[in-house]
Amino acid sequence: MTKQSRCTLVVWLVAAVVVEISASALLSAMAPAAGDDPKWKVTRPDSDQQPDEADNSFCLVCHINLEEEELVDIHRPHGVGCELCHGLSDAHSADEDNLTPPEIMWTKQRINPRCMTCHLRDELLASDGGGEDHKEVLARWADEDKSDDGERYCTDCHGEHRIANRTRIWDKETGKLLKQTGGPKMDRQK
């Protein structure tokens, strides 16, 4: 083992422990934030400023199946694009073998808190269309024994934000590559 790879291993081990601790803290408290690492943060844009439409073209070169997807579509005019939700991810985009993960991935546990950094709880509960739904969702989500297995996460109802056939699976917390099946085969249907 080279000095460098040993060093990398140590970094991974430390990262794994940190993630383990923050994950269990998250589960017990059902609290949104894990530490102050900016990696986890999705920032709410300044609502006083009229944002430019988000430019997603860089990512859509490969992720063409998400071009007209609902979650992408509703956010684009408001300046919320791939980058705001997944990070700049230059290294991911430039990796021809596609072994490098994007910067921000979303575990199920992170979906609601992150969506709710921009869509505040009170606004969700007060919304005309989704108010009742949101009340039930937030109650279910807070229910730790998970006896009610109805919709629990925002993306259960909002969007079709998926890749049907995965060829790369990363650990969404650490970015570690867990599975690789052949070359990348992205969905081409819209």
> Which residues of this protein are in contact with ligand HEC, per CB under 6 A?
42, 44-45, 56, 58-63, 66, 71-72, 74-75, 78, 80-86, 89, 92-93, 98, 102, 105-106, 111-112, 114-119, 124, 127, 129-130, 133-134, 137, 151, 154-158, 161-163, 166-168, 170, 172, 184-186
Q: Which helix (H) or strand (E) holds 169?
A: strand 168-170
CB of 171 to ligand HEC, least distance (A): 9
Q: Are 185 and 165 in contact (CB under 8 A)?
A: yes
CB of 28 to ligand HEC, least distance (A): 20
- Identify which of residues 34 and 92 has a Cβ nearer to ligand HEC in the complex: 92
Instruction: Output the six-digit token pair for 2.
Output: 């080279």
- Identify which of residues 155 and 174 has a Cβ nearer to ligand HEC in the complex: 155
Q: What is the three-class DSSP state of 177? A: strand
Residue 78's Cβ-side half-sphere holds a number of Cα atoms within 13 Å equal to 14
Write the CB contacts of 36 (distance below 8 Å, at least 6 apart in sequence). none
CB of 81 to ligand HEC, least distance (A): 6
